[in-house]
Amino acid sequence: KAGPGPTDPRLTKPDYEPKQDEPLAVYEDVVVAVAGESIPYRELQQTLTDGVEVKDRKGTLGFKTHRNVFLGKDLVDFLQKRFSIGDRAEAGEAAQILMRSGLFADARMSDKFQDNGTYYRFQKDEARLWTALNTQRKWCTPDGCVTGA
């Protein structure tokens, strides 16, 4: 079946401004606890991004370059040092919780944190890599919405 034709009224530009999406709520005052220390979430983000070495790294076979990544073992080292976590396994558990919170993600899309040479990427660096993707406009009327790139 063919799609709508050029005379379909749903495909004409409306004579009103598009509906604006509600901005995402930003909670400046969210405080999280890491190893018994309370720290504002944004400060934690900054502390981690400043304290862990982020750089472009070659994949295991040397073919692919992973941009803006850090190593899981480097994050565990930093958490142990910065938050005085004596047990490496406990620092790994803290990293897993931070990963689940969306602060960073596995560059290869795994959902389990590993205290080794696995590559991870902070959310702020991930967003910069995909800024131009999934951009679209949406016009909505009481009869429905038309989406265009």
For residue 29, count other CB atoms closer than 10 A to its CB. 7
Residue type, 43: E
pLDDT at 131: 44
For residue range 79-121, list pLDDT tens digits in order: 999 999 999 999 999 999 999 888 899 988 888 999 999 999 9
Nearest to 79 by CA among 62, 91, 96: 91
Render 40-76 in DSSP notation, one character per residue: EHHHHHHHHHHHS--EEEE-TTSSPEEEEEEEHHHHH
**At residue 125, what are phi and psi to the nearest 5 degrees?**
-80, -35
For residue range 34-78, list pLDDT tens digits in order: 888 999 888 898 999 999 999 999 877 777 888 999 999 999 999
pLDDT at 59: 78
Model confidence, pTM: 0.66
